[in-house]
Amino acid sequence: MSKTILVTGAGRGLGRTLAEQLSARGDKVIAHARTESALDGVPHEAKLVLDLAEPAAIADAVTGLGLDRLDGVIHNAGIAHIAPVADQTLEWWEQTLRINVTAPAELTRVLLPALRAARGHVVFVNSGAGIASGPKWSSYAASKHALKALADALRGEEQPNGVRVTSVYPSHFDTDMQRSVREQYDAEYDRSRATSPESIAKTITDLFHTPEDMVINELRIEPPNPLPIRARS
């Protein structure tokens, strides 16, 4: 049966791949991006054009979609500033927490009536940094730890309403963000040792077709032989 699923950050990378795979399976995609032009070439039935750095605008934007039911939302959009704590500016901290935590919380809140009506599924694309932090990861890892807390709280609250919640922790997969992170670390990058976005996307899209008598609460994904992030000597 076709499902209607909202994907944030659908303009590029994993989000675009998710939209492509969901559409290929016959699902209806509501694609989110900051600009309409970012969605050029992205398959979608409807669009949500919105800057997640402005969470106060989310409620009005979602109201414009007129959703009575929603089978799922994939919180994929995110931002990362990689630097030591000494160099992490207040602006970086506030921007990271707004986009990575506050916006998913507010978007979920606004979508909950439609998700409850469909007994839908909320998927948070987290990160290995949401499990363990390290040097230069402070603001990003803090936001991803907070995202885990949001998911855990939501799961307990919405179980009686039939809404399923999954946190996905991908690590070292081939995206622009991963390459940018390694550039900021002055570290080597080898895409042959990273998981492909197609593999990550398939794993996530499969979550929406799991049997109704089960839920996958957390899912960790790693390549078989990941290349550690280390500065070149």
185 in catalytic set? no
Look up tokens 């500016």; give the residue.
89
The rounded Cα 216 to chain-centroid distance in angstroms is 16
- Please measure the distance between the N-terminal and C-terminal CA atoms of the chain and give it in whole angstroms: 53
Look up tokens 């999954």; give the residue.
166
Torsion of CA 140, 145, 150, 151, to 10 degrees: 110
Q: Strand, helix or coil at 129?
A: helix
* C-beta of residue 14 within 8 angstroms of C-beta of residue 78: no
| Spatial distance between the Cα atoms of 161 and 76, rounded to a whole number of angstroms | 23
Q: Which of 136, 140, 169, 185 is catalytic?
A: 140
Q: Which of 3, 144, 148, 185 is catalytic?
A: 144
CB-side neighbour CA atoms (13 Å) of 52: 26
144 in catalytic set? yes
Look up tokens 């989310």; give the residue.
58
| Spatial distance between the Cα atoms of 32 and 52, rounded to a whole number of angstroms | 10
Which amino acid, residue 201? Answer: A
Phi, psi of 195 (to 5 degrees): -75, 140
Helix (H) or strand (E) holding 125: strand 121-125
Show which residues are catalytic. 140, 144
